Structure 1
Amino acid sequence: MTMKKFLAKTTRQALMQVKEELGEDATIISNRSINGWTEILARGETIVNPDLHSQKTQKPDDAHFTKQVQAKKAQEMLALLNSKPTQKTMVPLLEPQEVNTTKVDAIQNIQIQGVLKEIREMRTLFQVQIDSLSRASLEYSPNKRDLMSQFLSAGFNLDLAKRVITKLPSDFSAKEATPWAINLLAKNLQVLENESEIMSRSGIYALLGPTGVGKTTTIAKIASRYVLKHGNQGIALVSTDTYRIGGHEQLRIYGKILGVEVFAAKDAQELQQILEQLKDKKLVLIDMAGLSQKDQMVGAQLDMLHEANHDIKKILCLNASGTLDTLNNVSIAFAGRGLDGCIITKVDEAIGLGGVINVALQNKLKVFYLTNGQRVPEDIAMVDKVTLIEEAFNQGKMKDATSTISAEDLPAFFSKSAAMIDQGITQYA
């Protein structure tokens, strides 16, 4: 078997070279682009050229001329490979293997530097964890350290855990500490106490959030609950999703099933006109387009609701399976003109609820509903805040049961990990 590199202006030409020299059964090992040229590494049986004998018998002058032509072509090809697109420079003639090795080394060096940067960032994070946990070990009693471990395992952040633990009465046992912490969190978590606040009073609610968080399905669930209680005359649905192809259609299908009118608005003026038409409706639900929290259109979307000149309550949908940092970032982005609450979605997909509860507490968001599946209208429920927080702690205990690292071992684990990172940085820097 022979392994060989082939270089050509196009992939098609390179493959033809492979076929001619190694046959149709050749195996392609790699294929990459270098300054507009295609390099293919292939393996196969070298095909004996039937004209090889005639080449050997050609005259010395012909052979010398052929070598000159081949050398000139190789030089031109290497000059193209080494030249910059915007400059014409003289490039020294190098062997193909030397060119490839130099470029590969440069690429690998860039990749290594990028990895080292990420490793250094990890090392900084580890150091923060080491310092925080070490201080906690020194400052807190065994009961408080155990409660700290439960908070972190449940997905709450260190800052919230510290604020709760500092208020723990010193005479509480480990058995009393957890229920006390759960009740303290529950007192500070705002939830919809009575569904009649939505179902029996006039109101306009806009559901916001990133793409795929479940806004349209959640609107269908709330609309279904309303229709089951009050019929379909006092409710209307509005879609502002002009970004996706067929963005209105899913909501229209739900509206048709429920016998509820569905309207589409592409800007603030249309939205204002539609809301004027619907002023006799008890409940109007607006399905906003899904936008990334990093999208500059988030501000325009919030402005659209503000400029409609109606009292529109803004409800943020938070994906329970998202990370704490991401959810917090989403909350901050969509809170530009204030938020009236949130709905926690995709609870059935989450492996921990501490993060989303932490965000609701941190941003003082009132939790209206939980959704835990795709079924309409079954998979939606009001919030029992004590049960919700207990579930978060229970999920943390389940993660602890599968972990081989105890709370007492965490500082040592982070220290060891940081030392390994330092060793890696020293080796490759």
Structure 2
Amino acid sequence: MTTKRFVAKTARDVMKQVRDELGADASILTHREINGWHEITATAGEADATPKEAKASGKTELENKQLQMKRAQEMLQIFNSKQNVKEASTTSETTSVKAPAVVQATSNSANQNQEMNQLLVELREMKNSFQSQLNAISWESAQHQSPNARQLTQRMLEAGFTQDLAKRVLKKLPADLALEDAIIWSRNLLSKNIQCIENEAEILDSKGVYAFLGPTGVGKTTTVAKIASRFALQHGKASVALISTDTYRIGGNEQLHIYAKILGVEMLTAKDGVELDTALEKLSKKKLVLIDMAGLSHKDKMVEKQLEMLSATQTKIKKVLCLNANNTTESLNAVTQAYSSKGIEGCIITKVDESISLGGILNAVMQNKLRVLYITNGQRVPEDIALLNKTNELEMLLSDEEDADSSMASDTANHPENSSIQPIIQTHA
């Protein structure tokens, strides 16, 4: 294995050195910036050895593809490492302190920032290239599987499930199953890994305080109004109350105030932990208290303070995370990781009516072991909310187009307003 170190003034130049010296298949081990110079440590041992070893030992084409996939995964791990980016940024800051000549000239500093931005762009392009290559190699490898396994893999990917989940399912799939039996088996396996409430009485017949968390625009306020109205219909208006902590935006709590006025339920506002404790004490006789939290990006540092405020109250608060069904699995994972540091009771899948497929959100639910309390599929209060029927959803996701169309037509005939989602209550006059 040949390992060499390359140094150049720009990232483009040092990458050119690596390609010229070790070839396009070189594996990058480290990349850092020192005093304005870019240093890369790369190796060509594995890349050079692969064709020779394959030729000498008579390895099959499939094995060669697997080796290429392994190399692509190693490259992706390097580019996905946030720690490397963090270290590069720290090194750059340290370099600026140690190199007075660079700091003195504004133009040089601007050039350095431009070079860093260019480097990040190149890294993203390389990452996307390796990801595409990895997907292509993985798909070619899948062609060596049985026809049933290939069709099942294709259906899962088209449904929005990740390649990693498809691989996990196929790894456990019995080899002697026909396609339809394989689909049923896979559907049952996925269903067992999706947690959701089976009876709404678990929420509507219980007492407690729930705080609804999530990014801005995910539908928290409307969801709070839907649950409050359903609880009021069953237990009376005096049994439920609302609290808004959205004092950051101008008029942030006005929408919830309008809902509270229409529903005839009590509503209070709280801007900090002290006021929240006071409000909860005042509403202690209520059976159900719903807290509409301010919407925050998962990258916002205020998320941690928001969670700490809820955890520090004298009253136990159950945290519910609202997730947009339109987001990608990667985005949903990032949101979940940011909001679940203090523990969450479950999640509510919102904007189902705007989503093309629930494969991505169900993938995130399984990956993060979330418990689905409700799904929302419109703006109407209280009609557009339902329990997740995971069996029906998985059946539609994994069926072919003809079966999906007939199933959707049947569901639409039975429930024209909610398509495949079975409503919990009908419209009230």
- Structure 1 segment 153-172 matched on structure 2, within 5 A: 153-172=158-177
**Could you tell me how far 1:350 is from its partner in structure 2?**
0.7
CA deviations 1:236-290 (Å, max 9, x no partner) are: 0011111111111110100000000011111111111211121211111010100
Distance 1:274-1:142 versus aligned 2 partners, 3 A rule:
same
CA deviations 1:143-201 (Å, max 9, x no partner) are: 11111111111111112111111222222101211122112111221111111111111
- CA-based RMSD: 2.9
Q: Distance in 2 between matches of 1:188 and 1:333?
A: 22
Kept in 2, the 8 Å contact 1:324–1:359? The answer is yes
**Could you tell me how far 1:113 is from its partner in structure 2?**
6.8
Distance 1:282-1:108 versus aligned 2 partners, 3 A rule:
closer
**Could you tell me how far 1:135 is from its partner in structure 2?**
3.3
CA deviations 1:189-231 (Å, max 9, x no partner) are: 1111111111111111111000000000000011111112121
Distance 1:280-1:165 versus aligned 2 partners, 3 A rule:
same
Q: Distance in 2 between matches of 1:275 and 1:88?
A: 55
Kept in 2, the 8 Å contact 1:209–1:316? The answer is yes
Query: What is aligned with 1:127?
Result: 133
Q: Distance in 1 between matches of 2:114 and 2:219?
A: 42
Kept in 2, the 8 Å contact 1:155–1:355? The answer is yes
Matched, 1:189 2:194: yes
Matched, 1:137 2:143: yes
Query: What is aligned with 2:393?
Result: 388
Kept in 2, the 8 Å contact 1:154–1:397? The answer is no
Matched, 1:176 2:162: no
**Could you tell me how far 1:393 is from its partner in structure 2?**
3.1
Q: Residue 346 of structure 1 is aligned with which of 351, 355, 378? A: 351
3-state secondary structure, aligned to 1:166: helix
Q: Distance in 2 between matches of 1:302 and 1:110?
A: 35
Unaligned runs of 5+ in 1: 1-85, 90-106, 402-429
Question: Comparing 157-166 with 342-351, which one deviates more in the overlay?
Answer: 157-166
CA deviations 1:81-132 (Å, max 9, x no partner) are: xxxxx8799xxxxxxxxxxxxxxxxx99999877644432221111221333
Kept in 2, the 8 Å contact 1:316–1:339? The answer is yes
Query: What is aligned with 1:25?
Result: none
- Structure 1 segment 19-418 matched on structure 2, within 5 A: 116-138=122-144, 140-393=145-398, 397=401
**Could you tell me how far 1:392 is from its partner in structure 2?**
3.0
TM-score, length basis structure 1: 0.65
CA deviations 1:48-90 (Å, max 9, x no partner) are: xxxxxxxxxxxxxxxxxxxxxxxxxxxxxxxxxxxxxx8799x
- Code of the aligned partner of 2:184: P
3-state secondary structure, aligned to 2:315: coil
Q: Distance in 2 between matches of 1:87 and 1:145?
A: 59
Q: Distance in 1 between matches of 2:288 and 2:114?
A: 60
Kept in 2, the 8 Å contact 1:353–1:391? The answer is no
**Could you tell me how far 1:388 is from its partner in structure 2?**
2.0
- Code of the aligned partner of 2:125: I
**Could you tell me how far 1:347 is from its partner in structure 2?**
0.4
- Code of the aligned partner of 1:133: W
Q: Distance in 1 between matches of 2:385 and 2:289?
A: 18
- Code of the aligned partner of 2:192: K
Kept in 2, the 8 Å contact 1:150–1:397? The answer is no
Question: Comparing 286-295 with 171-180, which one deviates more in the overlay?
Answer: 171-180
Kept in 2, the 8 Å contact 1:242–1:266? The answer is yes
User: Could you say which structure has the larger radius of gyration?
Assistant: 1
Distance 1:308-1:128 versus aligned 2 partners, 3 A rule:
same
TM-score, length basis structure 2: 0.65
Identical counterparts, % of pairs? 53
- Code of the aligned partner of 1:174: L
The total of aligned residue pairs comes to: 301
Q: Distance in 1 between matches of 2:120 and 2:371?
A: 41
Distance 1:87-1:365 versus aligned 2 partners, 3 A rule:
closer
Structure 1 runs (4+) greater than 4 angstroms displaced: 86-89, 107-117
Task: Considering Cα pairs closer than 8 Å and 6+ residues apart, tell me whether 1 or 2 has the greater RCO.
Answer: 1
3-state secondary structure, aligned to 1:201: coil
Query: What is aligned with 2:63?
Result: none
Q: Distance in 1 between matches of 2:209 and 2:163?
A: 37
Q: Distance in 2 between matches of 1:273 and 1:109?
A: 53
3-state secondary structure, aligned to 2:237: coil
